[in-house]
Amino acid sequence: MDWDKLLNEAIQYLQEYIRINTVNPPGNEIEGARFLKKILDEESIPCQIYEPSPGRGSILATLKGDGSKRPLLLLSHIDVVPVEAEGWEVPPFEGLVKDGYIYGRGALDCKSLGIIEMMALLVLKREKITLKRDIIFLATADEETGGRWGVQWAMENIPSLKEAEYALNEGGHIILNENGTADRYAISNGQKVIFQLRLRAKGTPGHGSMPHPDNPNVKLIRGLDTLTKWETPYYILPSVKEYFYKMAPKQPPYERSFFEDIEKGLIDPTFSTWLTSNPVYNAMLRNTISLTIIQGGTKANVIPSESTATLDCRLIPGTKKEEFLREIRRRLGDEIEVEVIAESESLPPSPLNTALYQAIEKSALNNDPGCPIVPFLLPGATDSRFLREKGIITYDFCPFRLTEKELLRVHANNERIGLENLKLGTKVLVEIIKGVST
């Protein structure tokens, strides 16, 4: 295969894909689906667009195998988050190439994944690879606002999707260290549980010139001050324990034993403080609470009658929500009402003793010998939760080489992807698909 030629093809496709504005809301993913369909039609790969709500389009394509094994699903999403254009070095919807990178909203999250998944299908079709399982390509709407018109709808209305044995989706990456070498293959086999709360304090309205003790803003601030200082207890899943164990050989000698037995290590207050200063590690080890919205008052000289706050809580799978909520209420006190406004199911992580995970490990050993392959509990939420609900073994792994600093560009200004990552990502996906499907 001429990988340089394939890279040029992938670059062109990703540039065109980025130029289709699919900011959600409103989404308009149907235009992205039509773009992908045109390419797949030219390659004679059967595909179909679904539009459950006007403009909210998803596309499903299938590369047929002999059916001796159940299908493998390649998932991505078409929609992207909004931009603050004035903060970008380049226009965010032009897909410009600069210094070896393609810039644009969706370059990392996750139009690039959609392109390399599609490219993998094209390579397998062109090379006439004999497959034992169908390879399903699904690019969906609405991931960024909950999945109602995307994967959630698709899993309820497209019966063939439930036949899949495995799925690959966004989430994990090949993480590089400061020297640019592979530090770890982070493969997410599970994610934290969404549990979002609205707090409400009520009081007596009045003139701002005459303070009184029944001010709802003061009540709310007082309760939030107590709650946000709460250091929730550690809750270590077996896969998280394995993550740190496999990372231990890369640590300095004085930290190695702490990583080898993370539960024992966290007893040490110095190590615990240092480790949890890393937001990702902290989120893997405990339930988290983020204060994201505060609303109270409309005029500078008016004490309001009510104020509210929103908490984005993410729970370790297996956490009893009722107990967590009871503790929240206890810490806030009787003056603040608490309402659950959004939640997801508490699902166990996907198992690691599978043919797909072994195929990923084999690819990693071929490309980066000696680099640890670690299971990763994703702090955020992806569409994978809808697949795991249906019993599909799902791994969040996008085979791009990225530093932790580069990952911070997701949802931020100047989002970009290195051109070489498009070549690498396509090659690795083809390796993995062949490893589990031939």
User: What pLDDT sits at residue 303?
Assistant: 98
The span from the CA of 402 to the CA of 184, in Å, is 11
Q: Residues 25-42: what's their mean pLDDT? A: 98
User: What pLDDT sits at residue 178?
Assistant: 86
Mean residue pLDDT across the chain: 97
Using the predicted structure, report yes or no on whether residue 20 has a pLDDT greater than 90: yes
Q: Residues 350-365: what's their mean pLDDT? A: 96
For the entire predicted model, the pTM comes to 0.92
The span from the CA of 37 to the CA of 48, in Å, is 8
Q: Residues 397-414: what's their mean pLDDT? A: 95
Residues 223-267: tens digit of each pLDDT? 999 999 999 999 999 999 999 999 999 999 999 999 999 999 999
User: What pLDDT sits at residue 72?
Assistant: 98
Q: What are phi and psi of 175, to 5 degrees?
A: -90, 130
Q: Residues 205-215: what's their mean pLDDT? A: 97
User: What pLDDT sits at residue 317?
Assistant: 96
User: What pLDDT sits at residue 1?
Assistant: 85
User: What pLDDT sits at residue 200?
Assistant: 98
User: What pLDDT sits at residue 240?
Assistant: 96
Written as one letter, the residue type at 292 is: T
Q: What percent of the chain has pLDDT over 90?
A: 98
User: What pLDDT sits at residue 228?
Assistant: 94
Written as one letter, the residue type at 370 is: G
The span from the CA of 238 to the CA of 284, in Å, is 11
